[in-house]
Structures are given as structure tokens and as C-alpha cells.
Structure 1
Amino acid sequence: MATIRRFSADAPAVAGLIERCLREVNSRDYPSEVIERMCDHFTEQRIQELASQRQMFVAEASGIAGTVSRDGNKVYTMFVHPRAIGRGVGTLLMRHIEALAVADGYDHMETGASITGHGFYRRLGYTDVRSTETEFGLNYILRRDLP
């Protein structure tokens, strides 16, 4: 089983994980030019910047198996290694940041989801609020009430 810890000097590994996810998984739902734009966006430097602006976490299970970040009750940068998909890593990461949000007094979580991630969030109890077009394609905005 994976363990969750705070992001530290993980920018190279997290950037590599995100690129692999985009190329191997998200590429089923998005054209190559969008995938390239996303890969160009999630550089090591950008990951380091995001980690300084938000709480970022990694799941470890024989290496980094996933990552997620949060700012208050907003979920960002959720990716699970292609080999770890379906093994509970994403759920573990999400429940971790949801518990932190509850401890901070939030009553709901919100996230944006790609076409690829939309079903994952729906299975976790998130409901659609709206959809928007972004520079990275279609994005679903979802919400989940917290206990």
C-alpha cells in the first residue's frame, strides 16, 4: 500500500510522473498538441513553484505513485502513475487532502477535472457543477460535500 507524505525535493520525479501520465493516459482523450502544451506546462520549475504556493503531497509505493496538491478546499495537480491506476492511490491521496480540509473547517472540496479524470472524481462522490474550455481543452468543475 502507498504512504502519503509532503512534497519535498520531488520536482524531477513529480514532473516525470505527470509527463508519463499525460502521454500514456490523457493522450487517449486529448489531441497531441494539447498533450504537448500540458507537458510543457508541468516542468520541474513549475512543479517547484506550485509546491511553494500550495500544500503538495506524494504517494510512495516503490517510488512516487501519485501526487496531489491543495489550496484550502481546492484540489489541484492530481496524477497517478499509469501502473498504479486502479490500486487505490488516487483515492488515498484525495481522502488525505479532504481530511486536511475538514480539519481546517471546510465543508466541501472543489476541483477541476480533465476528460480523463472526470470519472474518477465522480466515483469518489464529486458532482458536476459546470464545464469550461481552457487552453488545455475541456475542463469539468466538480464539488463534493465533506462530512
Structure 2
Amino acid sequence: MTAVRNFEAADAPVVAELIGRCLREVNSRDYSAEIIERMCAHFDAGRIAELATQREMFVAESDGVVGTVSRDGNKVYTMFVRPDVAGQGIGRILMRHIEALAAAEGHGFMETGASITAHDFYRRLGYVDVRTSETEFGLNFILRRPLP
């Protein structure tokens, strides 16, 4: 059973490790080693703790922290699932959790920026491409999904 709860400051090292693991084991298929290392440095424990003060952050637990997502209103940020449990619906659970929160606040859609690696994941959840942009880490897809 996977449960979603609010991020706590003590989660920062575990979440940073989870993100680094995702980037190195999964995103490295689509990005150079240099970009992956810059991304990992960007998401160290200190940065995760800082981000948690700027937006709502959540973790998914199932025998430890297995995923994370954050949001600011109807914008999705830092959605990662531990590679060894990918494909078990944890990402979907996290996304539906924050989508429900955004819908309850009256937002009509959810929006996210997606890496090349995550693009298909969001499309499978019903998100559609709006545009692309360039970031310091490369190509970024901007996607939206209407909320009920």
C-alpha cells in the first residue's frame, strides 16, 4: 500500500538521494553525463529543503520513501519515483493527489514541465503538449491536463 504524506524536513536527504538515483539510472538514457551531474547537484538535500519552503512537497511511502512530487497551485515540480519501483503506479498516485488538491482550489488545469525522459509518462496520464522551452538542462516539454 502506497501512502502520500506531506514532506518533512528530515526527508530532504532521502528525497535528494532518490532524485539523484532517478537521474543517474533513468534520465541518463536521454541526457549527457555532464547534464545529469548538474541536475544532481541542483537537487542536493539543501536545495530540496529550500524548495519545500517555496512550494507544497509530498512523498509517497511504501516501505520507505518511494516517490516525491511538489506543486505550487496548479504547477507540478520535482516528480520522481525510485527506479526499482517504477511502473507500479506510484507516479500516478502522486499526480492524482496533487491534481485533486489543485481542483479543490478551483484550478481548471494542471501544468508541468517535463524532461525528455518524463514526457511519455505525463502523456499517458492525459497531459497534452502545449509548447517546448529550453532550460539550463536542455529541452523541456510544457504539458497540461484539464482538471474535473
Determine if the TM-score, normalized by the shorter chain, exceeds 0.5: yes
Give how far 1:84 is off.
1.2
In 2, the alpha carbon distance for the partners of 1:117 and 1:32 equals 17
Residue of structure 2 equivalent to 1:77: 78
- Unpaired runs of at least 5, structure 2: none
Residue of structure 2 equivalent to 1:130: 131
RMSD between aligned residues: 0.5
Deviation >4 Å, runs of 4+ = none
Give how far 1:110 is off.
0.3
Fraction of identical pairs, as percent: 71
Residue of structure 1 equivalent to 2:98: 97
In 1, the alpha carbon distance for the partners of 2:132 and 2:33 equals 21
Give how far 1:77 is off.
0.3
Q: Secondary structure at the match of 2:140?
A: strand
Give how far 1:106 is off.
0.5
TM-score using structure 1 length: 0.99
Give how far 1:36 is off.
0.6
Q: Is the counterpart of residue 40 in structure 1 residue 46 in structure 2?
A: no
Residue of structure 2 equivalent to 1:2: 2
- Residues 53-82 of structure 1, C-alpha deviations (whole Å, 9 max, x = no match): 100000001111100000000000000000
In 2, the alpha carbon distance for the partners of 1:142 and 1:123 equals 12
- Unpaired runs of at least 5, structure 1: none
Residue of structure 2 equivalent to 1:66: 67
Question: Partner letter of residue 74 of structure 1?
Answer: K
In 1, the alpha carbon distance for the partners of 2:2 and 2:31 equals 29
Equivalences, count: 147
In 1, the alpha carbon distance for the partners of 2:67 and 2:41 equals 19
- Residues 88-124 of structure 1, C-alpha deviations (whole Å, 9 max, x = no match): 0000000000000011111100000000000000000
- Residues 22-75 of structure 1, C-alpha deviations (whole Å, 9 max, x = no match): 000000000001001100100111000100110000000111110000000000
Residue of structure 1 equivalent to 2:114: 113
TM-score using structure 2 length: 0.98
In 1, the alpha carbon distance for the partners of 2:2 and 2:119 equals 23
